[in-house]
Each structure stands twice: as C-alpha cells, then as structure tokens.
Structure 1
Amino acid sequence: MQELKTKVVEYSPSRVQELVREHFEITAEVKALPGYVDLNFQLTDTLGKRFILKIASADEPLAELDMQNAVMNYLNGQDLQPYLLPEVIKSRSGHEITPLKDQYGRMRQLRLLSYVPGVFYCEHKALGCHHHSQLGTLLAKLDVSLQGFSHSAASRYFDWDLKHAKSVIESKMGLITDLGQRQQVLKILSGFEQQVIPFMAELPQGVIHNDVNDYNLLLSNGSRDAEVIGLIDFGDMVHSHQINELAIACAYAILGSDSPMAIIKAITLAYHQERPLNGAELWVLLPLIAARLAVSVCNSSEAILADPDNEYLLVTAKPAWAAISSLLKLDAKSVGFGLQRLCLTQEFGSDTGGLAGNVSSERHRDILSQRAERLFKTLSVSYEQPLIIERGQGQFLLDENNIAYLDMVNNVCHVGHCHPSVVAAGQAQMARLNTNTRYLNDNILDYSQALLDTFPESLSVVMFVNSGSEANELAMRLMRCKTQSDELLVVDGAYHGNTNKAIEISPYKFNGAGGEGAADHIHIVPMPDPYRGPYKGMSTESGRAYADSVQRAISQLQQEGKQLGGYICESLQGVGGNVVMPNGYLDSVYRAVRAVGGVCIADEVQVGFGRVGSHWWAFETQGVVPDIVTLGKPIGNGHPMAAVVTTKEIAEAFVTGMEYFNTFGGNPVSCAIGKAVLDTIDKDKLMHNARDTGGYMQRCLVKLQETFDIIGDVRGLGLFIGVELVKDANLTPATQEAKALIEWFKSRNILLSLDGPFNNVLKIKPPMVFNKDNVDYFIEQLLQGLSQINA
C-alpha cells in the first residue's frame, strides 16, 4: 500500500492537467477525489463544465475497465429515465481507455467520464421514506435493465461479491482485533450459513452494480423534496445473485439510522413492485445485509492494517459496526417472514392475505393420490388444501416455493427447526460412530449426567428408548415390577402414545373413534379442568376437590381387594385441551397413591424441557416429585429418541433376570443430539424466553378476551397455552368457529391446530425460539379472524 502514496505524488494536479490536455484537448482545473482503488479527479474546464478522470491501479485488469465502460454505454442506451449515469468520453484518438506508463514502468489505464451532478445520498440532511422508496425503484429498474447485459469480465472472483461472503469472512475475521466485534461477525457468519447458503440455488442471477452505496447515489438537491436522480461508479460490477444488489444498497442506507427495518422495508417494497422478488430472495435478505456489513468491516480491517493513513478506508467502518449491533438484535427469520408478507401479499390483495404458493397445485394432488395408494388411510393431513413443506428453520416451516409459515404447534422441534448446533452434533457423531449400548462409549454417560442434572435428586437413573410411546410402555413395566400390579389410574381425555399398551392407557384413544373402551385394570379419573369441570379456578381447594376423585377410585380398588399399581398423568393436559391443573392437585393425588403402595408417573412427553418457562419439568410447577418420568418429542428436536427417568429403588425392581436391550436406545448419535438440545436450551436462554414470550402472549390474549366473548378461557404456562372458544355462558363449544379460525390462520401463514374433547381449543406450543414479534403477528391475525367470525 506504500504504492498508493507514490501514485498520488506522481499524478499531481499539474501532471493530471498535462494528461487531460494531451489526450482530450481539455484545459481544466483539477481536484483530487477519494477512491478505494482508482485515483479519481474532478475536472472543471474553462466553461465550467465538469468531468471525472479515473486512473486505474496497475493491478486492475483491462477487461474489467472495458466492462465498466460497456455497461455505462449499454445503460445510457436503455430507457432509464429520469436517472443520470456517467457517459464515457473518448480521447482525441477515439479510444475509451488510454494506456499510461507510470514511473515504475507499469501500465495504468486512463478514462474520462461525464460528471453526474447532485447531492450524495450520505450528505443529504433530510432523507425520508420516499427517498428510500425511490432508491428501491432505482435498484429494481437498474437490475431489470441489466438482465440484457453480459460481459466476460463479470464472472470474475471478487471479494465484494456476496456469493463469496462465507470464505471472505472466514479468511479475514481474524484481523478484527476487538474480540466482541469478532463474535458479532461470527454470529453473522452462522446466520449466513443457515439462512442463505441453503437457498442460493433458488436466487436469480445476473450482472449487478454491486455497490449502490451512499457515496455512489445522487439526489437532485438537498431539500426534503429531492429526487433520486443518479448513480456512479461501476467498478464493483459482477455476475451474482440479483438479491445482493438490494442487500448491499440496504446495508449502506441503514448506516447511522435508529430505525433500520423501516428503511429496509421501504426500499424492499419499492424494489419488489418493479422487479418481483421470490420467496427465497425475501427470506435471505436480512442475513445478506448483515453479511455485506461483515464483509465490509473484514475488508476494512485488512486494508487499514496495510495502509493505516488512508482515511477513506475508515469512512464506513464505525457506522457499519453500529448497524451490525442493531441488526443482530433482530430475529432474521422473523424479518424474512415479515418481508414475505409485506411484498407477496400485495399480489393477492388485503382481503385474501395469503402468500404465493398457498394454493392447490398439480403436485399437491399427485402427492395426495400417491399417499392414498401407498400409505395407510389412517394417516391424516392438515387443512382443506394441504401444504407441501420442504424446509424448516427456527419457528418457521417453508413450502415448495420457500414461503414461510409461522409454526405455533410443533413442540417436537423444541429449540427450533433444524437448529444448526443440533444438526452439527448429529452429523459429526454419525460420521464417527453409531452403535448400541453393548459397547462402552462416553456419549451415553455425558448425556445421561447432563439430563439427570435437570431433575430432582431422587430421580437419578435413566433408560433411553426411541419414542414417547415406548417410554410409557417401559414405565408400565417398571410399575408392574415395583408393585406387582397392572391396576392403573388414568386421567380422562389423556393420551400417552400409539402402541398397544399406550393406547390401553389413553382414554383419548380407547374411548374415541375406533376405540374399544377401558380394559378392566384401567380406571379413569376426571380431568382436573378448572374451567369446564365442576370445580372452578386454580385454587388449592379446587385441586384437592379433583384429587378426591382419585382417592375414591383408590378406595374402590381396596374394596375390591386390588393392589394399585400406579397413577399416570400428563403434567399439563395436552390433547385434553392444553389444561393447567389447579394448585395442589398432584400433591394430593401423589400422597393418596403412595399411601397404598402405588407409583406416580409423570408424562412429560409434550411439556418438558423448560417449556413451562419457570422450571425444566412441568411437574415441578405442582411442587411434586414423581417416581417415574417419561420423556419424548422435544428431547431430540425431531430426532427419534425418548427416555424414562426413575428412582434407584424402582430401577432395581426392574432387575428380574430378563435383559432389557434396546437396539437404538442410547446410541451415540442420539446421545450427541440430546446433549446438544440441552446445551442449546441453556446457551440460548430458551426457558427464559418461554416465560417471557409466553407471559406476553397470555396478556395479549386476555386483553383480546375483553373484546370477544367467544374467547372463553386463556390458560397456560410458558409456551404451552390453550385458548378455548365457546358460544355462550353455558360454555357451548364453538367447534365450527374454531375450525374456521384454523383455516384463517393458515391463509395468513400461521400453523395452528385444535385440541380438547370438543375440538374447540387453540393449542399453542411453538418451538421455544418463538418471540414477541411472532406473538404480535399472531394476535393481529387472531383479531382479524375473530372480527370476521363476529361479522
């Protein structure tokens, strides 16, 4: 970079005047301008006409300079009114590029361009929303025009091409001396890898300007009424993803702003109205904006180390770091979802609200036909027009057109769909070893200790299985070994799985369609429902009143001379309607069960792992410690695994001489994935988020309840919430209205479903990364949906 200093000296104003007179027959005053690579000079001739003279670096390929001239010639021949672009001025010998030899004998190239008048975007003091919209319109018209342009040099490798952001950031972020800033760049890199790279094949490509920054964009004047009129400097042109054009412009437009999203939305919507964006482009936009800023600070760090006296290199570094800090506070996936709604709903009108792709297609019909032919007919699908879902990211599912749906019902992908840490843990272990528990391996020990550390001290032994159904099967065997009895108390409406034994203990199944009723050793006790049941409210008195029914069932068994085996209960009722039991219920029940030698089993398959927000396990909210706990669903974030946790005493009773071996239970891959889930819950503070976001949602729902009588009850803990819809004070279930609301939500790209004995309860149990912005969108759509029902 010492070379830069000598170049400036060599091309002094007097030397530049000589070159201009020699090659262009122009007598002019000369003013040096800043530049990243080229030497730039403003010329003013004797009549006051201005020009820009550019002397290229000796390293700059001639083909790239030719491309710059070619694109300016091309665009000036297009209908890009009212925008002004530089025009290429030929030398007296008729050439657009004039070779020069510097004092070291190296070739440099001289070019003269017309001057584009105006006020730089960065220097305008009264920028408003209409300027951002104008910027979006300019970008789109530029990209549409450039679709007809090609040049061999456009396919070059270029550090500033966002296609290469990953490698550029990885190679240069070590040059960032501030460790906190380096961590920020690492976070941007992670988002780029997760949210951009998988979609690259679906991003349209073309030649782009690649540097519509606030020093290359011109406005007509400095007033509030100024218009975006001009664009200069085509030196960064490259063939890349067209969405990068928008991302780069947004990255510079938000510098110094306290409201980056307002600017991004204005620019994006205006761009979309001229050049429609597809679902993938909108989904990746924010992480691309962040990546551009990260590339900028990485390249600046490299350049500053080499040339600490070049002040131009520092121009955007400080505001870029401020913008990075601001963007990292946003959830990029929620922003992508919002941008899709902002832009794509415009195509359908405000009355429909649905996004592109949310329609029946030949592919839908073909898949349904093949399912009917090849799969069991007992497999159901959701919605009148079923969705084709091809990707999952965070709290969103994406369809075949990369249109995102806010997933509010999938408690299986607990820490978020395809969480990169969980995926990486599974991939790494799968590539190393997967076998069974007959071989010694540290994975099962590390994971079992980490899992048991979340439980009360007495629950100190764990067995790994493959599903919640299998976990509940094993719990039944443990109960029998400990008590020598199969007599079991179950809660009405409960669901514990899909195997024969699990169905046998699930009133939801054996008393439902196709069921055969309760077996002789299964005894149903009423659901402790503080809203619809006979004892209202969450008081300890209500809890004890419901527990009395359990005591009566136990007394009946004693009268019949039967030994109670145990009592099983979901710690929060799931299919029963997302019901939270009254205070003191489980405490009274457990005392009664243990008094006659029974064991207490807590089914945490749906509600464990911090979903309640206040505790790791939902049974803890009742102040009890079970004898057996069954786990499933969220334990592996979608990977098929489950577990049974119990006391040493019950585990010892299971040692009867019959070996228990599970081929896949506790395998190294499952254990690596399970450990990653626990680590992610801690690292990402997901329990805190469940409490904070869930509490916020319940407050919003209660406020909405004041307006809509159809909302009979709002209940829940953390991110396990039920909204029961009723028609009147008699609690007549609003089942049809609830079904209509589910379809309404789907048309608004929200995925929800119903539970409860009357299928009238909105069951809300989203991935734990669900946030307040997601809540706001859900509440907004619920308000509109309920208003339509009222109408």
Structure 2
Amino acid sequence: MTDETLARCLELPRPDVTAAEASDILLSRYGLSGVITELGSQQDRNYRVETDDRRYVLKICHMAYETLELEAQNAAIRHIGEQADAPRVPQVVPSADGQDIVAVTVREQTFQVRLLEYLDGEGLTGHRHLPETSIAALGAVCARLARSLADFNHPGLDRNLQWDLRRAGPVAVQLLSAITDSAARDRIAKTMVSAVRRIQPFAPALRLQAVHHDVTGDNVVCHRDEQGRPIPDGVIDFGDIIRGWLVGDLAVTCASLLHQARGNPLNVLPAVSAYQAIYPLKVEELRALWPLVVARAVILVASSEQQISIDPGNDYVRTNLELEQRILDTATSRPFDLMQAAVLKAAGVEPAAVSTADWRPLLPDLDIGQIDYVDLGVQSPHFAAGNWMQADMDWRILARWAANAGAAATRYGEYRLSRATLLSKETPATCALHSDICLPAGMVVAAPFSGSIDWQNHHLILVGEGVSLHLDGLELDVEAGSTVQAGDVMGTVSGEASSLGGLRVQLSTLQGADVPLFCTASEAFAWSALCPSPAALLGKGVDAPKPATRDLLDKRQAHFAAPQKHYYSTPPEMERGWREHMFDVEGRAYLDMVNNVSILGHGHPRLAEAAGEQWLKLNTNSRFHYAAVADFSERLASLAPEGLDTVFLVNSGSEANDLALRLAWAHTGARNVLCLLEAYHGWSVASDAVSTSIADNPQALTTRPAWVHPVAAPNTYRGAFRGPDTAGDYLLDVLDNLGDIEARGEGLAGFIAEPVYGNAGGIALPDGYLAAVYAQVRARGGVCIADEVQVGYGRLGHHFWGFEQQGVVPDIITVAKGMGSGHPLGAVITTRAIADSLEKEGYFFSSTGGSPVSSVVGMTVLDIMADEELQRNAREVGDHLKSRLAALIDRHSLIGAVHGMGLYLGVEFVRDRETLEPATHETAAICARLLDLGVIMQPTGDHLNVLKIKPPLCLSMESADFFVDTLETVLSEGL
C-alpha cells in the first residue's frame, strides 16, 4: 500500500453493508444461515454469525485494502495453528466454492469478504480492573504469538499501515488536522515529538519480523482460572499484521492495558516480565519500549478523532476515544526516564549506577561517621498511639536526636510511617528518595563534583555530568548560573548562630527540579535508579534496610508448622496497628475488618500500660493468691445471668470449649453431645470433635467420634428450611438425634452451639430455636453450652451476649478472643454445681490462664469497653454498616444477603439468587482486590462465599463507609 493509498484508507468509513445484506452474502457464498449480530470495528464491518451448531465472524472490508494483505492474514493464521505452544487463533473458513477471500458487490460497491471461526471466550476490554495475573497472561500471549511468527514470511506483510509504529511520526502529522481543539492538538504533537526523539537512537537495533501488532484486550479471548480471573489464551483479528518492529508488538499490548491501570503505568510491568521470560528482547528494544507505548497512545487518540470526523455515527470509535484518552494520559503521567528504568528492571536488566569514586565531601567540616541516623519507619520506637500523625513529627524527632548527637539524619529508602494515609484506596508515597540532616547552622556546604549552579526559590541544584545534587536549607555563597569545581564552597546551612539547621539532600539523574521527595512502594525500584542513595555524601548508615518480607515468609514456612496458615497467598508484612488500622512495613495502611481478637483496636496505650505495670510487679500462675484473679473472676460473674457465678480462666476459645465439654461430661456422667453442622468451636481434641465446618476441616463430616451428634444447620438463608419461622422444622432433626441416643439406652451430656451462626457469617438462628432445643436437652439431663467466643462480649451491639438475642440462659458460657484484646485469655462461666462436678476428675488449672497479667488485661479491657462505650458503638456503627451493605443488594446481583447484627456481619455472594449457587471463586477474588485497595477481609462459611465482617469495636462511621465504598468499587470494576 502506497502512502497515497494509506491516506485514502484513513478517510474511509466502515463498509455500508447492513445485517440483512450480510445475511444474503452468508447464504449465497457460504451456504450458511443464522442469527447475525454486528461487532465493533474501526474500519471493517464485522458480523457474528450463530448457526445451529457453530459460530463465525463475517468480515467485510473495502477494496482499497489490497487482497495480498488479506491473504497474508489468512496465511499467518494457518502458520500459527501449526506451531507448538502458540495461542488459539480462529481458523479460516472457505466459501462454498473453496475461496478464502470473496469479492461481493452490494448496492454498486464491491467489498472483500472473509469468514472466520468464532473463538469462544471473553475479552479484557470490558473489565475496569485487571488482576496482575491477567496482565502477565496477556504479555505471555503476546510473546508466544510473536515467537510463533518469528519464521513467517509473506509478501503481504510489507505494507503501509497507519498503526505501524515505524511510521508513527508521519501518520500523526496526517491525523492531527482532524483535531479541532488547538490545545489538545499541540499537546499531542509535542508528545509525539518527544517520543520519536527517544525512539530514533535505538531504531537501527530494533528487530523486524512478522507481528500481529494488535494484541489488545479487544483482540484476545480468555478463560477463567480457579480464582475466577480472566486468562487470555487466544488471539483474534489479524487485520494489522505487518513486518514491523518486534518491540512495537509489545508496545501495542502495554498501551492497551493502560486504560485499566488506574492511572499508574507501572501496573502493566507484569506483561513486560512475562514477555521477556518467553521471548527476550534486547536492551535497545527495552529502552525503546516506553516511547513506543506513548507513540501508540498518540496514534490511538488522533486516529479516533479523525475517524469520528468522517464517520460521526461510529459509536464503537466514539466509546473507545474515552479509553484511548485515558491511555495517553496514563502513558505520559510518569517521566520517560522512570518508565525506561522500570521496564529494564522488570526485564531483569539493572540500569548503570552513578559513579561516585571521585566525589569530594559535601560537609567538609563534619565527620559523617558521627551522624546519628534516626529510625522513622513503621517499626520505629519513637512512635506510639498514633503520634506519627501529628504535624512535623519526623522533624521534631530528628531535631531532638541532633540536639544530643550534634548531627542527625533521616534515612534514604525508608518507608516513613508519617506518610501513611488512613482510609485510602491508593498506595501512599512513603519511600524517602532523599535524606534530611539536622546539624549546626552556618556549617559549610561544598560541591562534591563539578557542575553549574541552578537556584530556584531557595532550592539549589548542582548540575553535573549525568547527575544533579538537590539541596534545600542553604544560604548561597555563589551566584546562580555560575560554575563550581569539586570542593568549592557553595554556601552554608541556614539558621541563626548557635542553632540547628536543616539540610535536605537528594541526588537525581533526571534533568530539572521536578523530582519527588517520596514515591510509592511499587515505584521505589524504579525511582531508586533515578534518585540514587546519598550514601557517598552522608555515609552508608543513611540507607535504610530494605524490607525482607519475602525472606521472612520463607523463614516462617521453613520453621512454622504448615497447618498454621496465613492470610493471603502473598501476604503483606504487618508490623504496627492503631485502632482499626494495620500498617505493613512499607507504610501502607489497611482497614482491619476481620480482627475480632483486637476488640479495643490495635495499639491501645491504656491496655499496654496496664499490662506493662503488672508485668513489672508480678506474673505467675493462678494457684498463687493475688488480688487480680479474684477481682476479674467476680467481674466476669457479674456480667453473666443470675446463677452463673463461677469462673474458670484459660488461654483460648479452644480451651474454653474443651473445658465446657469436660464439665458437661463430668456433671451428667454421660458422653453424647449434640452440635450444629457448619459450626466451628476450636482445635483441641474435644472442641475439634464438635466442629463440623468443612471449610476448616474438609474431613469434618466423616471423622466425628461416635459421641458427637451433628444436627441440621439452622441456616435461615440457605438451609433446608428458610426464614425466621423455621425453628419447629429444624427441631425435628434434634428430636431424631435425641431419639437415637435414647434408643441405644445412652445418656445425653449436652448441646453446644453459637447463639448466632458465627462461622456461617453471623446468621441469626430461627426465632425460638435455642429455647426449644435447650428445653429438650435439659429434659434429658443434658447441659446447654453457649459458645460466645466470636459473637459475644458486646460485639452484637444490641446485646452483650449472643444468647440474649434468643431469649435463653445457658448452663455454661464460653468466651475468649476479644476479652483479652489480643492477649491470650479465655473463660468458662457456669454454675457452682456444674463447676464442682469437675472435682470428681481431679483438680484443674491453666498455668497462665488467670495469671496476674491476664487478669489485669481482662479487667482493663472491660473498663475501656465501658469508658469508650464500645458496645454502643458496635450497635450504632454496625446498624449503619449493615444498612449500607444491604443497599448494595439492589445494585449488585452477586450479593445474595447481608447477615448479622452489630459488628458481626456477613455478606454472602451467590451466582444465582434462586439456586443460591455459592460464588466461592468470586469471593476469594473480592478479598484479594480489597487488600489491593487497603481493606483486610477474609471469607467464611462452608463454601467460603461469605465476607466475615468482625472489626475492632472502635470502628468509626468513616471507616465503615470506606469499607462499603471500597467493596462497591470492587463489585463495580470487576474482579
């Protein structure tokens, strides 16, 4: 195709062929008929055809496009189909007379027609969010396709195509005339000029081969993996195949991903890494990649603007223009140099380091070995109780250290806790790309290398060869624009005599002053190449140690027993908490919506102080006599209904439930225990025996000992009987089990259940269920155990104990988790008669259960709960949260129901609201996506399809709203 022909093609609308006319073509030339649906296209007219047994795509294009080019597309498809490990591609379907390309005249216009197989699967463009796995898979498909075309040749590949990135500059000039907005036109033109200038030095080294040149979200088809993520495995639409730059093929793919990158171009790097692992690019190609991505973005925007001007009714193009503008904005949102460094590192190539061998001292009058480097990271001992959120806290700590040491500096590469942002879906810029040094005012500052002086608003830039030094806090002794030699005095540290001053030190290989002081953790690997450490100026101690999260996880997995699982496949390393927030080592704040252990919230100073004071006095086992255990036991008994006045103190909920079962056995002399299906009560031998949740133990239903009798789960949402008025229906199974026990002539020890179905997501039991079951159990001499470990202790808001919601009083209450707010503490509360029954088996003790520290912790938790009105907060915030979650049901069909009350809630996801098919994979993907957006959440239930919402009781209204808003973002954008 000549330049003149290309110009004419650029001005062509889609072929004017209606669906009815396409149907006639299909029948007359291919002998096929079926349902026809138009598909979107830039310049072809495409129709999907559905016959009784197969699906096809009918492609109609202008005669201006040479037949040889269409033949190249068909030949490439056949070639790829013969290659090992190539992606799926649609096969060419010949006409009834054996032709691959058919000339057809419609209303005196002749077009070229082809029929291709329709590849099943979904595309990627419709997804507003793509997980990293999908991004990497698209890069891998692009690489596999390019590798399969490496030895393909055809004369139809050598053509002029507006999308050929070798011609991006001239094509842009042709297209710009269609853009009427002069500001937009100028911006696009300048952007293309910058991109072309950066491509040109590498152009001679860029390899040529046959490339698809359009492996985008529109032109791939996907399957879903086990987590429900879309994984590209097939490629369609070979209309842009050419002999072009190999790296240009990847540039097209990267550009297509940018509209789903949430404004961060580095999000596409998994595609680069995946491509490089399969079909490696040369260094020159990697350096040219991002300018080519920008060039592609410019052509996309300019082409759509031009196409709309000649085909105003093309809604496909009009819709795409918004996405293409987003691609261009994202592609140019970071400096070229940063993206080049990021691409190189993603491909496993380290950029060249700045040479500092000949540098002179920056502070010739200061022994840098005497500088104290201050820890301002997430684990810094200088931070507590949220004080890092106070204004200028970092500087105040630095100044305090400098006052003692003479000079103190912050650390380069440190993830600053003070930069953490609460309730943010975006990752904050916490990584320091500079160092602040506090030292005596008036101290001399010299040039470490030769260069010119640039002075902008008290910001000095020493511009050297390939590197610049940025300084703030300086009194200038040289003129702006002057040249200095290494060792020359540039100025002195600002400040009054005999006082301390501050000097900010930063190195950069970027030109100009616009260099960030902080970057996000995800961009630190790239920015550190452009803003290297000032260790050559301030000493090696200025470099903060890098987080060793991966090594730490390896250590955990090497020595921590495998059955002790961790949340998430790649978990963040959490090292600090504050109220309902947790912080990883990179300063990312997460809203903790699952931590019912930390009932007061994380890092409560009053609790820490009380525990510390008692530990300094005494901590021993409860067989010694001391005030705290007596006071705490009395306090617990006062919280229980009348008659439940005797307390055992243990370390956990598992121990509490285990002890409760032992008490039932001892008191009744019988062994048989009724429990509920889908329930969890602990890990000890006895508590595990009555735990029937297959999510916690897949063998639970087949490994119960003979004394355990599970009864039907009274799940009012998805159980055998649904709704609140089903107590009588579920009681029948209880009666059947009791009848079987009686028929064998055996006695009944008791019945254990959570008063609210906690493990199923906080589902309320049917009205009157516990009253009816308790009556039947007691009539047979058994005792009734209420497992309040998860749902009790004020969490429900409307009730302190869960059994109050059912209007019953148990014989034994078990409690743990929140009662210690993270300290190992559990309790059994019962009657004196039941407690004394254990004497028949000997005495009982728990070495640290009820220890002085544990007892003080327990009392302090109750004091704080009362003083801070946390049960009231659970009620008010919980009701608001549930109301907002319930409002999502009408907008998102994936939500089946919202369960629970107070701050024990569950959101259940189903694929079908009639069949209640659990959306297990989707729930896992939702939890993973919520983590990306700053929310900690985990699934529960036998099908792992329920969000288990049980945050610290100090949860604020603002945090509750953030959680719902973030969940809606996930459901709206896709998983």
Q: TM-score, normalised by structure 1?
A: 0.56
Residue of structure 1 aligned with 2:920, choices 729, 732, 735? 735
Matches within 5 A, 1:442-461: 442-461=627-646
Please report how far the alpha carbon of residue 347 of structure 1 lies from its aligned counterpart in structure 2 after TM superposition: 8.6
Pair 1:424 & 2:609 matched: yes
Please report how far the alpha carbon of residue 559 of structure 1 lies from its aligned counterpart in structure 2 after TM superposition: 1.6
Rounded Cα–Cα distance in structure 1 between residues aligned with 2:858 and 2:825: 8
| Max Rg structure | 2
Aligned to 1:588: 772
Residue of structure 1 aligned with 2:722, choices 533, 536, 561? 536
Rounded Cα–Cα distance in structure 1 between residues aligned with 2:365 and 2:889: 62
Rounded Cα–Cα distance in structure 1 between residues aligned with 2:779 and 2:429: 69
Please report how far the alpha carbon of residue 469 of structure 1 lies from its aligned counterpart in structure 2 after TM superposition: 0.9
Rounded Cα–Cα distance in structure 2 between residues aligned with 1:717 and 1:655: 39
Aligned to 1:203: 394
Do the aligned partners of residues 422 and 206 (structure 1) sit closer, same or farther apart at CA in structure 2, a change above 3 Å counting?
A: closer
Rounded Cα–Cα distance in structure 1 between residues aligned with 2:882 and 2:695: 33
Aligned to 1:643: 827
Structure 1 residue matching 2:763: 3-state secondary structure: coil
Do the aligned partners of residues 753 and 280 (structure 1) sit closer, same or farther apart at CA in structure 2, a change above 3 Å counting?
A: farther
Aligned to 2:550: 365
Residue of structure 1 aligned with 2:623, choices 438, 445, 448? 438
CA contact (8 A) 2:430 2:520 kept: no
Do the aligned partners of residues 277 and 577 (structure 1) sit closer, same or farther apart at CA in structure 2, a change above 3 Å counting?
A: closer
Rounded Cα–Cα distance in structure 1 between residues aligned with 2:694 and 2:433: 41
Structure 2 residue matching 1:425: 3-state secondary structure: helix
Structure 1 residue matching 2:905: 3-state secondary structure: strand
Aligned to 1:667: 851
Residue of structure 2 aligned with 1:415, choices 600, 608, 619? 600
Q: Deviation digits for residues 541-588 of structure 1, max 9, x if unmatched?
A: x12322232122112211221111100001222223332212111111
Do the aligned partners of residues 463 and 201 (structure 1) sit closer, same or farther apart at CA in structure 2, a change above 3 Å counting?
A: farther
Please report how far the alpha carbon of residue 719 of structure 1 lies from its aligned counterpart in structure 2 after TM superposition: 0.1
Rounded Cα–Cα distance in structure 1 between residues aligned with 2:798 and 2:433: 37
Structure 2 residue matching 1:602: 3-state secondary structure: strand
Rounded Cα–Cα distance in structure 2 between residues aligned with 1:430 and 1:736: 46
Structure 1 residue matching 2:709: 3-state secondary structure: strand
Rounded Cα–Cα distance in structure 1 between residues aligned with 2:736 and 2:807: 23
Do the aligned partners of residues 362 and 398 (structure 1) sit closer, same or farther apart at CA in structure 2, a change above 3 Å counting?
A: closer
CA contact (8 A) 2:431 2:520 kept: no
Residue of structure 1 aligned with 2:894, choices 694, 710, 715? 710
Q: Deviation digits for residues 299-339 of structure 1, max 9, x if unmatched?
A: xxxxxxxxxxxxxxxxxxxxxxxxxxxxxxxxxxxxxxxxx
Which 10-residue stretch deviates more, 383-392 or 591-600?
Answer: 383-392
Please report how far the alpha carbon of residue 633 of structure 1 lies from its aligned counterpart in structure 2 after TM superposition: 0.8
Pair 1:392 & 2:577 matched: yes
Question: RMSD across aligned C-alpha pairs, in angstroms?
Answer: 3.6
Aligned to 2:211: none
Aligned to 1:489: 674
Rounded Cα–Cα distance in structure 2 between residues aligned with 1:712 and 1:149: 66
Matches within 5 A, 1:294-333: none
Please report how far the alpha carbon of residue 241 of structure 1 lies from its aligned counterpart in structure 2 after TM superposition: 10
Rounded Cα–Cα distance in structure 1 between residues aligned with 2:809 and 2:737: 22
Aligned to 2:564: 379
CA contact (8 A) 1:606 1:633 kept: yes
Aligned to 1:562: 746
CA contact (8 A) 2:761 2:900 kept: no
Give, as a single letter, the amino acid of the residue that structure 2 aligns with 1:744: R
Give, as a single letter, the amino acid of the residue that structure 2 aligns with 1:699: S
Give, as a single letter, the amino acid of the residue that structure 1 aligns with 2:639: T
CA contact (8 A) 1:504 1:510 kept: no
Rounded Cα–Cα distance in structure 2 between residues aligned with 1:456 and 1:634: 20
Rounded Cα–Cα distance in structure 1 between residues aligned with 2:706 and 2:972: 48
Pair 1:602 & 2:793 matched: no
Give, as a single letter, the amino acid of the residue that structure 2 aligns with 1:768: L
Q: Deviation digits for residues 586-629 of structure 1, max 9, x if unmatched?
A: 11111111111110001111111100001211111111100011
Q: Deviation digits for residues 412-467 of structure 1, max 9, x if unmatched?
A: 01111121121111111101011222222111111111111111111110010111
Aligned to 1:633: 817
Please report how far the alpha carbon of residue 706 of structure 1 lies from its aligned counterpart in structure 2 after TM superposition: 1.0
Rounded Cα–Cα distance in structure 2 between residues aligned with 1:707 and 1:510: 29
Pair 1:624 & 2:808 matched: yes
Aligned to 2:32: none
Rounded Cα–Cα distance in structure 1 between residues aligned with 2:735 and 2:861: 39
Aligned to 1:612: 796
Give, as a single letter, the amino acid of the residue that structure 2 aligns with 1:736: H
Aligned to 2:252: none
Pair 1:751 & 2:936 matched: yes
CA contact (8 A) 1:745 1:752 kept: yes
Identity across matched positions, percent: 36
Do the aligned partners of residues 239 and 634 (structure 1) sit closer, same or farther apart at CA in structure 2, a change above 3 Å counting?
A: same
Equivalences, count: 478
Q: Deviation digits for residues 187-234 of structure 1, max 9, x if unmatched?
A: xxxx995112699999367999xxxxxxxxxxxxxxxxxxxxxxxxxx
Please report how far the alpha carbon of residue 660 of structure 1 lies from its aligned counterpart in structure 2 after TM superposition: 1.3
Give, as a single letter, the amino acid of the residue that structure 2 aligns with 1:196: N
Structure 2 residue matching 1:565: 3-state secondary structure: strand
Do the aligned partners of residues 200 and 381 (structure 1) sit closer, same or farther apart at CA in structure 2, a change above 3 Å counting?
A: farther
Give, as a single letter, the amino acid of the residue that structure 1 aligns with 2:716: P
Bigger RCO of structures 1 and 2 (CA < 8 A, at least 6 apart): 1
Pair 1:724 & 2:724 matched: no
Do the aligned partners of residues 573 and 439 (structure 1) sit closer, same or farther apart at CA in structure 2, a change above 3 Å counting?
A: same
Rounded Cα–Cα distance in structure 2 between residues aligned with 1:457 and 1:408: 34
Pair 1:548 & 2:732 matched: yes
Matches within 5 A, 1:186-265: 194-196=385-387, 203=394
CA contact (8 A) 2:777 2:783 kept: yes
Do the aligned partners of residues 276 and 611 (structure 1) sit closer, same or farther apart at CA in structure 2, a change above 3 Å counting?
A: closer
Give, as a single letter, the amino acid of the residue that structure 2 aligns with 1:383: Y
CA contact (8 A) 1:613 1:691 kept: yes
Rounded Cα–Cα distance in structure 1 between residues aligned with 2:940 and 2:669: 35
Pair 1:523 & 2:709 matched: yes
Rounded Cα–Cα distance in structure 2 between residues aligned with 1:241 and 1:779: 41
Q: TM-score, normalised by structure 2?
A: 0.46
Aligned to 2:952: 767
- Structure 1 gaps of 5+ residues are 1-147, 153-162, 164-190, 209-237, 244-264, 282-342, 349-360
CA contact (8 A) 1:203 1:241 kept: no
Q: Deviation digits for residues 69-115 of structure 1, max 9, x if unmatched?
A: xxxxxxxxxxxxxxxxxxxxxxxxxxxxxxxxxxxxxxxxxxxxxxx
Please report how far the alpha carbon of residue 368 of structure 1 lies from its aligned counterpart in structure 2 after TM superposition: 2.2
Rounded Cα–Cα distance in structure 2 between residues aligned with 1:413 and 1:788: 32
Give, as a single letter, the amino acid of the residue that structure 1 aligns with 2:837: A
Give, as a single letter, the amino acid of the residue that structure 2 aligns with 1:611: R
Rounded Cα–Cα distance in structure 2 between residues aligned with 1:202 and 1:562: 69
Rounded Cα–Cα distance in structure 1 between residues aligned with 2:945 and 2:699: 21
Please report how far the alpha carbon of residue 494 of structure 1 lies from its aligned counterpart in structure 2 after TM superposition: 1.1
CA contact (8 A) 1:574 1:755 kept: no
- Structure 2 gaps of 5+ residues are 1-361, 367-374, 376-381, 400-405, 412-420, 435-517, 524-545
Give, as a single letter, the amino acid of the residue that structure 1 aligns with 2:873: N
Rounded Cα–Cα distance in structure 2 between residues aligned with 1:465 and 1:207: 45
Please report how far the alpha carbon of residue 381 of structure 1 lies from its aligned counterpart in structure 2 after TM superposition: 2.3
Rounded Cα–Cα distance in structure 1 between residues aligned with 2:650 and 2:801: 19
Pair 1:696 & 2:880 matched: yes
